[in-house]
Amino acid sequence: MPGAARTPAPASMPPQGLPGLDSRFSRIALVPDSGDAIGTTRGWHALDNGAELDRLGVTPVGTILCVHGNPTWSYLWRELVQQATDVAATGSGDAWRVIAVDQLDMGFSERTGVHRPLAQRVRDLADFTLAIGLEGPVVTLGHDWGGVVSMGWAVDHPELLSGLMLLNTAIHQPSDAPIPAPLRLALARGVFGQATVATPAFLETTLALGHPAVSRAVKDAYRAPYRGAARRGGIGGFVADIPVDASHQSFAELSRISSALRRLTVPAVMLWGPRDPIFSDRYLDDLIDRLPHADVHRFEGAGHLIAEDVDYADALLTWLGDNAARVTTGAARSEQPTEDYADTVATGSKAALVEKASDDAGTGAAASDRPLWHYLDELSDSGETALVEMNPGNGAEPRVVSWKLLSRRVREIAAGLAGVGVKKGDRVSLLVQPGADLTAVLYACLRLGAVVVVADAGLGLPGLTRAVRGAQADHVIGAAPGLAAARALGWPGQKISVTTFPRAVARALGISHTLAELVRDGRGATLPEAPAPSDTAAILFTSGSTGPAKGVVYSHAQLGAIRDTLAAQYGVGVGTGLVAGFAPFALLGPALGARSVTPDMDVTSPKTLTATAVAQAAAAVDATVVFLSPAAVTNVVATADALTDAQRHALAGVQTFLSAGAPVSESLLAAAADLMPNASAHTPYGMTEGLLMTDISLDGIRAAAASRAVGGVCVGTPAASVQVRISALDDLGQPTGEPTTEAGVTGEIVVSAPHLKSNYDRLWMTDRASRVGTDSAFADRRDAGDASPGAVSAAAAAASTRTRWHRTGDVGHLDEAGRLWVEGRLPHVIATPDGVVTPVAPEQRVESLDRVARAAVVGVGPRGTQQIVVIVETASPARRVALADRELTSSIRGVAGVPVAAVLEVPRLPTDIRHNSKIDRSGLSRWAADVLAGGRMRQP
C-alpha cells in the first residue's frame, strides 16, 4: 500500500466493557479470500444479533447488513444492534437480524498486509455474505466509505436486496469540484503516512467531529482496534483508495456502482448531518438524483458522525416499519418505478413529488386549473398597473409596471433562463428584495417549471445559509448583498445578478449572467412547455421561530389553491389594489390579478414600517386590501400622528385589512382599524405549511370575548375548504386523542385543506411527524419545537383515507360556535401534577395587570411534575433580572388562574426573528430552570 507498511495480524474479539456494546453480539467468521491470496481464509469480526434472536425463538423478517467507513468499525452500529434486539424481545415491532462487519484491515478483523482497493472491498463483503449463507431479504446500511462498499454489494445482489439505507457518504466526485479539503490534506505528499498510519491524527480528527462532542469513553472505544501503527494500515489504505481522478485504480469501480445505482428502485432512506466537512450536501444532492424515490432527512446541527449525534437507530427501525410491506419481501426492483410504486414512496424525494402533488391536489375542494401566470397572459396587452415598487433605489420615484411590461419581462426572463441552462425541476434560490425584479424573476421561474426557493432574509445570515445550502439550489439569482453572501459562504449554484456590475466585481462575486443579459437573449425566443399542475413549484422556508427553518414544498396546484382561497375569502381579484407588508402576499398579487405594492420598509425588520409608508403605498395602487404583520402594525399605529390629510384619505379607501403571522390583540387591531375606518379588519390564522386556515374579524374577536369562552386567542372559523380537528392531550401533554370537532376539548390543532403543503423538503422524519396517524416519538430533539411528539389514533387516520391532515404543533380548542382558540405551541404545554396547562390564557390574565407589559408562562422540571414559572417584562422596564417583588408576585398569583411557583422579572422578553412578536417559551423554560437552580441572573 502506498505510504504505509502493513503487518498481517489475525482477527480478535473486542475487549470487554466498551460502552454500549454487548459482548454477546461479537463473533468471528472465517471467510475464503477471493483476492490475490486465493485459498487463504480471512478472519472477520462482526456484531450479529442472530444468535440472540434464535435464543428468543424469534424468526427475523430480514437482515440489515451494516458497513462502517474510515476510520470507525462495527462499534458505530452498536445502538442499532441493541435496539433491533430489544424490539424483537418485546415484540413491539418487526424482528430484524443485524450484522455489522469490521472490514478487513479495520476494527478487530484480520490485518491482511495486502492493499484492498474498492473493487476488492466489494468482493470482500460478497465473500463474507456468501460464507455465512446470508439469505434475503437484505437491507444494506453504510456510512462514509462503507456507504460506497454497501452500495456496491447492493447493486451486485438484486436477488437478495430489498432496501437501501445510508448515512453521510458519497458515490460520485464531480469533475469540476475538488475533493473535500480534509481529504486533500490527508493525501498530501509528506502528510499521508504520518496522518493516517504513523500517528492517530486522522482517527483523532474524525473523532472530533461529533455534535455534541463524543465522550471520552466512546472515543476510547473507537480507538481500541487502532492502537499502534501496525493496526492502522487499513486507515491509510482507505484514504489512499479515494479516486481523485479517472487515472485512479478505483475510479472505474466507483463509476460502475454509481451508474448501476440509478437502476435500483427498492425503498431507500438517507439520514444526513449537514455539518459534515467531508460529505457535504453536494454529495447528498447527487445521491438524491440517483435515487429520486429515497426518503431523506437532514438533521440540522448534526455532522459526519451522525450515528453519534442523533438517534439514527430508532429512525431507521421506524422507517423499516413504515416500509415493511416492501422491505420484507426480498423482491428487488431494477427497472424505473411504475406509477403504482411512485405513489407509495414516502415524501421527500424529487421524483415522488410529481405523483404525490397530483394526488394531494385532488383532495378536498377542486383547485382552479388556471396557471399561476394566468393573468400575465390574459392581461398581456393591458397598460393598466400590475405592480408598483415604492423604492427602486437611488432616491428614484416609485416604479410603475404595467401588465403588458410585466408579462413581456416574465416571458423574456424565462426564455433567457432556459438559454443559460435553467430547466424544469431545477432549484432556483431567490435572494432579491421584494419589488418588480423579484416578481418578474419569480413568475419567470414558475413559467419555466423551475422550483423557486424562497427564504426570508429575516432568518439572518446563519439561517439563510442553512436554508440555501439545505435546499441545494442549482442556481442563485440575487442582488449585491445576497450574491456577496453566497460567494463568501460558498452557497451552491450558478450565480445570476439582477444588476450589472463592473467586470472585476462580477468576477469576484462569481456572477455568470445578469438579468439584463437574460432579457436581451430571451427576447423573441420560444418558451419550453409549461409545467403541469402536479409539478413542484416552490420551496418556502418557515420563519425559524420554533427551531431551524424548514423548507415547505408546494406544487403549482397547491399554490393555485392558496390563490383561490384568498380570492374567495377576501374578494381579492382583478381591480383589487393590494398593499402587502408581508412579501409572500405581494408575490401572489399577479396570480390574483391584483395591483400590488410592498411599502417602503426593511423587509427583514417589519417593525420598521411606518403609517406614512403604508399610506403612500395605498395611494400608489388605490388600495382596497392591506396586509401587514403584527410587528408592522404596532409601529404603524405608533407613527400614525405623522399622517397627512391626503394620506388618511388614501387609507380611508381600504375595504379589507388583514394582519397575521402571530397573535394580534383586540386593542391593536382596533387601533389599526381606526386608521382605515371603512375597512373590515381581520386576523387570519395560518402557517407556512398552509397560509390561510381560519379567519376572524375585529367584530368577531369582540363577540368571542363577550362569550366568556375560556382561554387562548380566538382565530375564528375555518376558511373555505378548510377542516379543523382537535386531538386531545393526555396527562403528559401528548396529543393521543382521536381528532374531533367536539367543543371544549383542548389538544393539538389538526387541519386539512387543498392548499396544504406537499411535504417538508429533505425532512422525512419531520414530515412523517406532521401527518395524522404517525408515531413521531423518535423525532430528533433538534426538531422538538417543530415536530409534535405523541401519536394520533390510527383509527382516525384510516377514517380519512383520501384527506390529508397536517398536525400544526399548535394547541387549542373549538368552542360551541365552531370557533378555534389557540392556546400555545405543543412543546410549550406544561404537564403539572394537577394536569396540563397551556400558556396563552394565563399569560393573557397576567398581562391584564397594569405593571405587566408582556408575560411568558413556562414549565420547569420533569414532565408530569413541572412547576409553573411566570417571566414578565414590566411596563417600566426592569434594570436587571431578578425575582419579582412581593407585591407583583402576589398580584400575578392572584390573576394567573394556575399555581405559580415563582415570578421572574426581566428587562426584555426575547422574541422571534421574523415577526418580532413570538416569545421563545422553550428557551425561557431552560433559562428559568438554570436561574432558579442558582445560575447567573442574566438577560435571557
Residue 599 falls inside a structural domain: no
Q: What is the CATH number of the domain that holds 135?
A: 3.40.50.1820
Residue 469 falls inside a structural domain: yes
Same domain, 82 and 202: yes
Residue 794 falls inside a structural domain: yes
Same domain, 886 and 738: no
**How confident is the model over 479-511, as pLDDT tens digits?**
888 898 888 877 888 999 999 999 999 999 999
Residue 411 falls inside a structural domain: yes
Domain boundary among 555, 576, 593: 555
> What phi, psi does 932 have (nearest 5°)?
-70, -20
Prior bond of 502 cis (ω within 30°):
no
Same domain, 738 and 842: no
Stated pTM of the model: 0.86
**How confident is the model over 385-434, as pLDDT tens digits?**
999 998 876 667 899 999 999 999 999 999 999 999 999 999 999 988 88
Contact 903, 878 (CB under 8 A): no
Domain boundary among 768, 801, 827: 827
Average pLDDT for 875-894 = 93
Residue 333 falls inside a structural domain: yes
Among 215-229, 327-341, 628-642, the minimum mean pLDDT is found in: 327-341
Same domain, 742 and 879: no
Residue 866 falls inside a structural domain: yes
Residue 796 falls inside a structural domain: yes
Instruction: Kindly compute the dihedral angle of the four CA atoms of residues 658, 659, 663, 665, in this order, to the nearest 10 degrees.
Output: -80
Give the number of domains in the chain: 4
Query: With b meaning 16 or more CB within 10 Å and e meaning fewer, what string describes 801-826?
Result: eeebbbbbbbbbbbbeeebbbbbbbb
Same domain, 254 and 396: no
Same domain, 848 and 822: no
Residue 2 has pLDDT above 50, yes or no: no
Domain boundary among 344, 379, 414: 344
Same domain, 234 and 329: yes
Q: Residue 793: its pLDDT value, please?
A: 35
Q: Which three cell numbers stand for residue 837?
A: 396547562
Distance CA 548, CA 467 (A): 9
Distance CA 10, CA 43 (A): 7
**How confident is the model over 719-728, as pLDDT tens digits?**
988 999 999 9
Instruction: Name residue 473's beta-bridge partners.
Output: none
The model's confidence at residue 691, banded by pLDDT at 50, 70 and 90, is confident
Same domain, 293 and 429: no
The model's confidence at residue 184, banded by pLDDT at 50, 70 and 90, is low
Q: Residue 78: its pLDDT value, please?
A: 98
Angle 666-675/698-706 helices, nearest 10 degrees? 150
Same domain, 307 and 403: no
Average pLDDT for 885-903 = 95
Contact 285, 472 (CB under 8 A): yes
Same domain, 337 and 371: no
Q: What is the CATH number of the domain that holds 902?
A: 3.30.300.30
Same domain, 888 and 739: no
Residue 11 falls inside a structural domain: no
Q: What is the CATH number of the domain that holds 476?
A: 3.40.50.980
**How confident is the model over 665-690, as pLDDT tens digits?**
788 899 999 999 999 999 999 998 99
Q: What is the CATH number of the domain that holds 764?
A: 2.30.38.10
Same domain, 866 and 878: yes
Contact 46, 25 (CB under 8 A): no
Terminal Cα-to-Cα distance of the chain (whole angstroms)? 56
Give the domain range for residue 533: 364-555
Distance CA 323, CA 307 (A): 21
Distance CA 750, CA 726 (A): 6
